[in-house]
Amino acid sequence: MTEKADPQVIRQSVLGVEMTDDECRTLADIMQVIELKEGETLVQEGDVNRYLHLLAKGRLRAENVAGEASRFLYDVRIGEVAGTRAFVDGTPRRATLRTVGGATLYALPPEDFDQLVESHPRLVYKAMRALFRMTYINLTRIDKESEQLKNYVFKVHGRY
């Protein structure tokens, strides 16, 4: 871990979309900066790591790993976060997060975030709205993919 998190990176992320510059600075003050090199693993499937990770720079890949084999799930884009479910409910990670070419991430410790409830309730509210919005977007994407798969299997509503 090195330098301090950049509030402007947070402001331009999915997490900071509704936040003021002051709120982004407050959040940046409690976030940890993590620098990873090519192929390094941030978290492994099954880890109990409650940190929310914001991709500030580089590439991060979510995958399921079984022995030597891995199955691609998703490439996290700059400004997106990973680990919303673990951050909110503390359950083990459902995917391994590994860099592709190196990455800079901002890690939000849940204990530090929880302390903002009293001092910065609007910031916490906006962050939780952002997490809900991201979850909704992911569920919508999964629902669409499921519908496309169903249409393909049953050969309806498309050109097959």
In a domain, 133, yes or no: yes
What proportion of the chain, given as a percentage, has pLDDT over 90?
77
- pTM recorded for the entire structure: 0.86
In a domain, 93, yes or no: yes
First to last CA, the chain: 50
The radius of gyration of the chain from alpha carbons, rounded to an integer in Å, stands at: 17
In a domain, 159, yes or no: no
Per-residue pLDDT band for 50 (boundaries 50, 70, 90) equals very high
Task: List the CATH number of the domain containing 14.
Answer: 2.60.120.10
In a domain, 1, yes or no: no
* Domain total of the chain: 1
Task: Dump pLDDT digits (tens) for 60-93.
Answer: 999 998 878 889 999 999 999 999 999 999 999 9
Name which of 50-54, 74-78, 126-130, 132-136 the model is least confident about. Answer: 132-136
The domain of 130 spans 7-154
pLDDT at 158: 66
In a domain, 16, yes or no: yes
In a domain, 2, yes or no: no
pLDDT at 1: 46
